[in-house]
Amino acid sequence: MNNSDLAILVIDENAIRAAIIKEGLLKAGHRNVTVVEELVGVARIIERQAPDVIVIDIENPNRDMLESLFLLSRSVKKPIAMFVDRSDADMIHAAVEAGVSAYVVDGLKQERVKPILDMAISRFNAFSRMAQELEAAKSQLENRKAVDRAKALLMKSRGMDEEKAYALLRRTAMDQNRKIVDVAQSLIMTFEMLER
């Protein structure tokens, strides 16, 4: 997708500030910019609009408002750039924990909107890749544990060494046109059922 085709949702209760952001995005070549000036019901609006990127601008954030926006950012799984006029260490920490990709304090200038948006998208993509890689690593580890447990069960029940137990798992998987981990998990389930 071309950056100019990105669907960008700007959430700002202040029409003047929203216009600054929108103008900055339009000048940067973004054509699909929607502005919402009401925070009430914003989750439904996000669901309906399905934006690629969300820009939130809050002049004077309070804890409750930030907390609800942070809960929202955890659920939408989209790049979020947030502009605030004032902040503290706790708010910044909460924003990062919630997955806000760019948290900018006192930095709302038309010419800064595009680079900050680009950085938010880039950081979001980097974190998404890391999360996917972590999930893949966890899955591989779980699969490895299942195969090792199945080998141990075969070694104990059939008096095999590790190499023969693995060869049996592999051969069974090939014969049944299944993955080794699926055969291992079936074997583990079978042993657990027999032990009851």
Domain assignment present for residue 128? The answer is: no
Domain assignment present for residue 156? The answer is: yes
pLDDT tens, position by position, 113-128: 778 888 888 888 888 8
- Are 120 and 79 in contact, with CB atoms under 8 Å apart? yes
Q: How many structural domains are present in the chain?
A: 2
Phi–psi pair at 84, nearest 5 degrees: -135, 155
Average pLDDT of the chain is: 83
Does one domain contain both 156 and 103?
A: no
Range(s) of the domain holding residue 35? 8-108
Domain assignment present for residue 47? The answer is: yes
In eight-state DSSP terms, residue 40 is T
pLDDT tens, position by position, 161-193: 999 999 999 999 999 999 999 999 999 999 888
Does one domain contain both 75 and 152?
A: no
Does one domain contain both 21 and 104?
A: yes
The pLDDT of residue 96 is above 80:
no
Domain CATH code at residue 38: 3.40.50.2300
Does one domain contain both 99 and 140?
A: no
Mean pLDDT calculated for residue range 96-100:
74
Domain assignment present for residue 129? The answer is: no
Buried b (16+ CB within 10 A) or exposed e, 35-58: bbeebeebeebbeebebbbbbbbb
Tell which wins on pLDDT, 180 or 98: 180
pTM: 0.64
Q: Tell me, what's the pLDDT at 183?
A: 92
Domain assignment present for residue 121? The answer is: no
Does one domain contain both 39 and 94?
A: yes
pLDDT tens, position by position, 12-64: 888 888 888 888 888 888 888 889 887 777 778 888 888 888 888 877 666 66
Does one domain contain both 104 and 138?
A: no
Domain assignment present for residue 126? The answer is: no
- Are 10 and 93 in contact, with CB atoms under 8 Å apart? no
Does one domain contain both 43 and 104?
A: yes
Domain assignment present for residue 119? The answer is: no
Domain CATH code at residue 174: 1.10.10.10
Domain assignment present for residue 69? The answer is: yes
Does one domain contain both 66 and 147?
A: no
